[in-house]
């Protein structure tokens, strides 16, 4: 496998801005537990091993139940998620996969029954931030678990 560049070293100012943007989404109208689910789901959809590894560990440290984490891949069939969580996951899937003709009205209307305008807007920024991280880490093949100690993720005890 070809060694890829270290994007943090090559673009430190842009990295810093993306960190600032991501941190700003943590103060949004979207509760942290949904933020964890969205981060894991986005990483699943984008095939980002680094982000999936990191967000599963974070969710576990935040108290998320393991079975719910396992069920994220099949959230539509699972009975473990609330209507609000299901709406957030539907929106996450739609914005991450971006259907050819845009997000269908039925998905938007379904999500709007669970999220107010501010929450939906904030959730969209949460999804955008996660997709940005997924894309850069997939592109540069960042190794899963390689930053555990730096991010304190070794405390998740999921080696």
45-80 pLDDT, tens digit per residue, is: 999 999 999 999 999 999 999 999 999 999 999 999
pLDDT above 90 covers what percent of the chain?
Answer: 87
> How much of the chain, in percent, has pLDDT values that exceed 70?
99
Measured CA to CA, the distance from residue 73 to residue 71 in angstroms comes to 5
Q: Mean per-residue pLDDT for 86-107?
A: 97
Instruction: Give dist(CA 134, CA 46) in Å, integer.
Output: 7
Q: How far lies 59's CA from each of 33, 62, 98, in Å?
A: 8, 5, 26
Q: Superfamily for 11-142? A: AhpD-like (1.20.1290.10)
- pLDDT tier at 152, thresholds 50, 70, 90: confident
Other Cβ atoms within 10 Å of 133 Cβ, number: 22
The mean predicted confidence, pLDDT, of the chain is 94
Please say if the pLDDT value at position 25 is more than 80: yes
Q: Where are the domains of the chain?
A: 11-142
Can you tell me the distance from the alpha carbon of 139 to that of 116, in angstroms, rounded to the nearest whole number? 34
The confidence score (pLDDT) of residue 90 equals 98
């Amino acid at each position: 496998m070809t060694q890829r560049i270290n994007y943090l070293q090559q673009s430190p100012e842009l990295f810093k801005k993306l960190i600032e943007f991501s941190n700003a989404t943590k103060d949004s109208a979207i509760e942290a537990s949904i933020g964890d689910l969205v981060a894991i789901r986005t990483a699943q959809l984008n095939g980002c091993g680094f982000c999936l590894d990191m967000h599963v560990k974070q969710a576990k440290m935040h108290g998320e139940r393991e079975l719910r984490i396992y069920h994220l891949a099949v959230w539509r069939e699972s009975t473990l998620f609330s209507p609000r969580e299901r709406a957030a996951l539907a929106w996450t899937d739609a914005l991450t996969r971006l259907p050819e003709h845009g997000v269908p009205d039925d998905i938007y209307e379904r999500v709007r029954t669970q999220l107010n305008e501010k929450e939906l807007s904030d959730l969209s920024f949460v999804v955008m931030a996660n997709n940005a991280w997924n894309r850069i880490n997939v592109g540069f093949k960042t190794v899963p678990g390689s930053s555990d100690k730096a991010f304190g993720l070794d405390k998740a005890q999921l080696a």
